[in-house]
Structure 1
Amino acid sequence: MKESPLKDKSYAFAIRIVRLSQYLQNHKKEFILSKQLLRSGTAIGALIRESEFAQSKADFISKMSISLKEANETAYWLSLLKDPGYINEKMFQSIQPDCQELIAMLVSTVKTSKQPH
């Protein structure tokens, strides 16, 4: 897994999450949800990176599956930030499709990895 779209997209997404978290803390004075978002949103790429040196196929699948769970959790936090108005619809629509794309890519990776070769 040298350079891959999944690795690149998850890293770019993590940067956006860091910036969004900073915005929420500095401008909206929101600290609890923003930290949850920061944790789950940056864990996606960290787990993908970990999977590069997985000890086995099962370990690779496990790391990718956990990354998928983190992406799904991130989608939850984004919705929870949008609905009470911490982020507006435009901000939400800017980042949510990237999160959904990562989820789709991770689902595909996990499914493909589970297939016998």
Structure 2
Amino acid sequence: MADKKYDLEDRLVDFAAKTAILAENLPKNFTGNYYGSQLLRSGGSSALNFGEAQGTNTDRDYINKASICLKELKETRVNLKILKKLNYGDSTIEKLLDEAEQLIKIIATIIRNKK
């Protein structure tokens, strides 16, 4: 997997899918349902907003959509940290946290370079 080169959209889609799988596998209690729903929304939204950013006509529109993507990634990161503190999930959370950090850095750099 380390040898395979992903473009950013593929990475975001993969991240969204993995967060959705994690959300689905959380305990079916109040806490699991709450954080699972939040995780599903923010993890998926980052990929969807990046897709919208790619279809924009101006740098300003691109920055706006990419900024929403960045915000959703940061929300997902915090959610994953909470789930880790709750001892929910397994080593998947650590891998997703690492990927969230990498994606945040990439999107933040793209936004900075577009300004």
The Cα of 1:39 is off from its aligned counterpart by: 0.3
Letter in 2 for 1:46: L
1:74-113 paired onto structure 2 within 5 Å: 74-88=76-90, 90-113=91-114
Q: Tell me the residue number matched to 1:34.
A: 36
Aligned residues: 107
What is the identity, as a one-letter code, of the residue corresponding to 1:92? I
The superposition leaves residues 17-69 of structure 1 with CA deviations (integer Å, 9 ceiling, x where unpaired) of 11111111xxx112111000110001011000001111321010000011001
Partner Cα distance (1:99, 1:70) in 2: 10
With the length of structure 1 as denominator, give the TM-score of the two structures.
Answer: 0.86
* Paired letter, 1:100: E
In the alignment, the residues of structure 1 paired with residue 94 and residue 20 of structure 2 have an alpha-carbon distance, to the nearest angstrom, of 17
What is the Cα deviation at residue 92 of structure 1? Answer: 2.0
Question: What is the CA RMSD across the aligned residues, in angstroms?
Answer: 1.2
Give the alignment partner of residue 73 of structure 2, picking from 71, 74, 80.
71
**Contact 2:42–2:72 (CA<8 Å) still a contact in 1?**
yes
Distance 1:22 1:84 in 2: 16
Gap regions ≥5 residues in structure 2: 1-5
TM-score for both structures, normalised by structure 2: 0.87
Distance 2:96 2:72 in 1: 15
Using the alignment, how far apart are the partners of 1:13 and 1:92 within structure 2? 11
